Structure formats: structure tokens, C-alpha cells
Amino acid sequence: MTRPLAPPSSSCLLLGGLVLAACGDGGDGQPFGSSLSSTTATPTSDADATSSGGDAASDGEVDTGDAGSSEGGVADSGDDDPGDGGTTGAEVPFDAGLCGEAPPMGAAAPPGPPAYSGGVCPAFVPGYNTGFTAGGLVREFALVVPSGVDDTATYPLVFAWYHIAGNAMDFVNEVDAQALADEARAILVIPQDSGMFEAKWPDTPLDIGQSGVDLAMFDDLYACIAQQYAINTNCVSSIGVSAGGLWTTYLATVRGQHLASNLTISGGHPTEIVGPWWPFVSPRPYAALVMWGGPTDMLGIDFNAASLNLVGELSGAGNFLLRCEHDGGHGVPAPGDGDPLRTALHFVRNHPFWLAGESPLDMGLPDFYPSYCTAI
């Protein structure tokens, strides 16, 4: 069955007197800045929906209707002309990057995708998929594939985790995910949260014990997408915004063996009230992008402090780090001084697994990267 995605019934979580995640920004009433206007309601693709194993069709259906209005997440510059004389505004050119190259002989290889816990993978189609059993629960997700996807085995796979006021299809629209997938020639998957956690993802001290719910979603989506599409297992990445940024930080500590890179936007590793919300572990050196809005990046919790914590931990563990501290507060900064989302996907394409914590960005950043980013 299909169902419309409704806005969350609550946008705040009270944790021992701490208001956690999105309770509005006191500005325009939206939790992460003005919404990005988009006429794209659903991702489209010319790809077939047949499973690579020729197995059973999905139990679920695909909703290709309008997901409704955006809840925010990407700031709108409100000006087509960046006019800042900075590094950006320039269109990010397609660059297959190191993900388009064969790994060097003898380079470290990632483990294969996990086995699907449900037995036979269902067939997925581009758009909104329902009826997918992951870890014993029936789940939903949005899948965005590049137009004209084929079997050339050069497609990075990017998991994206949204903010506390969002849902999968709103996020697809907010970030114009189809355009990102087409430009980066990458496959994007945006899981819909389970509805079990007020903070969307199980990364707070109250629910970290149930993190297996969404770890299973990661495992089973990876398993079945890898069966159906020719993904590059050397270029599997995760990106999260706000509550999703906290979750992807945790995800990297327990699934980092699969990740070539991990990217957080106004996320990090909080240490408020109860100390570290989970132990920081880096299973292997990988590339990390940490982007946040400076000292004013506070929304229920101190995301500035959480991001600085993560910067220190990643650097100390030998991971390559692109530190991007802007002054725009919480959420995805507007394009203008660089395009943060297109920069993120360029980062993904140029940091395959086999780099093992090294980076071509040590030689200098492309001129279309935001000026507030620094390689560490």
C-alpha cells in the first residue's frame, strides 16, 4: 500500500530538560531556513525495475505523487546572482573522479554488501518504495537513480538521512535529488524513518539501544540495491543533516567498514548532559566532511560544540577531514559561496574506499568548493 507522508506530530524531544533537535529557528518559522522551491515531485529514471537476480517482485508499491510542501532543510539564497566574488556560484562540472578509476593493485577492498535479512530481495523502482521488509519491520524509502542508468558499475551509492522535521520525499524535493543524482551520476537512497523515535533516528541516549532498527535498514537496503544496480562498492557513502547528521556520525562508528566517506551537515558528536552520547570509534581511516554553521549553529542542542567534537575525534583517528565552518547557523547553507550539496557529491566521487584516509584534496581544493572549507 502507499500512504502520503505527513509532517511529524512533534518537532521536539525533551531529554532531561534538554530540548533536542528542531524546535524552530525563531526566524521564518521553519526549522532549517527557507525551503528550496522545486517543481520536482518524484525522481524519474529510464532504469528497469528488474532485480539483477531475476527474483520476485516487490510486495510494495511505488508512490509517484506529489510529496507536498517542503518542511525546510536547505536555505534559499533568494538571489540568483551570488555577487560575492567568492569561490562559487560556478557550476560544478561532472568529474568521475577517483571513483571512476580502478583501484590500485593490492589496495584495500571493502567487504561485500551484507546479506539481505529477508531472503529474496524485492525489485525496487526509482521513486518512493513501500512494503520493504528490513530487519523484520516493514519500511519505506525513496530511491533516486541517474537518468539513463546502465550497468557500467561506476555508480557511487549515497545514503541520505534527513532532519527531525522532514520525511524522505520532502527531502528529495528540498535538495532537488534527481538533479544531484544526474549531475553526479550517483544513486541516492533516502530511508523513511521508522516512526519509532521522536528524533527520527535512534541516536540519542534514550534510544541508542534500539539503533539496530535503522542499522538493519542500512544493511538491507545496501544488500538489495547492490543486487539490482551496478554500484561501485568502493564508493559507498553516507550524508546526514541535523538529526540525520547525528545519525550518520553514529552509523560510521558501527558500519564504517563499508563506508568510503561520511558527511555531516549540522550534525556531529554531542556530549551534552550525559557526556558522549555514544563512544566514538573509527573502524578504519575514511574521508569525512564536517559542515556546520559556526557558533550560532544551535537548535535544541549545541551543534557547534558537537561538530567541533567530531572534528577533533576524526583528526585524532587519522581520517582525512574537510572542515567547512560557515556563519549561517543551522542546516544546509544556501548556494552562493559554493554549492554545498554539489560539493558534497564531488567529495564522495573523489574519495573511494581504497584511499584509506588519504585525499587528493591535500593538493588543494577545487575553485568551486566553498571558501569556508579547509582540508585537514
Domain count, the chain: 1
Which of the given ranges, 23-37, 63-77, 346-360, has the highest pLDDT on average?
346-360
Checking if the pLDDT of 12 tops 70, the result is no
> When comparing pLDDT for 55 and 147, which is higher?
147
Q: Is residue 262 part of a domain?
A: yes
Using CA atoms, how far residue 210 sits from 22, 206, 272, 314, in Å, is 21, 9, 20, 25
Domain contains 90: no
Residue 303 and residue 293 in contact, taking contact as beta carbons nearer than 8 Å:
yes
Q: What number is the average pLDDT over the span 7-32?
A: 35
Q: Is the pLDDT of residue 304 over 60?
A: yes
Q: In whole angstroms, what is the distance from residue 89 CA to residue 338 CA? A: 6
Q: Residue 80 domain-assigned? A: no
Would residue 182 count as lying in a domain? yes
At 53-81, the pLDDT tens digits run 333 333 333 343 333 333 335 554 444 43
Domain assignment present for residue 82? The answer is: no
Enter the DSSP assignment of 355.
G
CA 143 vs. chain centroid, Å, equals 13
- Within 13 Å, how many C-alpha atoms sit on residue 146's CB side? 23
Q: What percentage of the chain exceeds 90 in pLDDT?
A: 67
The residue-averaged pLDDT of 29-46 equals: 30
pLDDT at residue 45, as a whole number: 35
Instruction: Return the higher-pLDDT residue of 320 and 72.
Output: 320
The dihedral region occupied by 181, where left means phi > 0, alpha psi between -120 and 50, and beta the remainder, is alpha
Question: Is residue 92 domain-resident?
Answer: no
CATH of the domain at 207: 3.40.50.1820
Pairwise CA distance, residues 184 & 94, whole Å: 6
Residue with cell 510529496: 67
Q: Judge whether 247 lies within some domain.
A: yes
In a domain, 117, yes or no: yes
Domain extent, residue 332, equals 13-75+108-375
DSSP notation for 113-155? PPPPTTSSPPPP-SEEEEEEEETTEEEEEEEE--TT--SSS-E
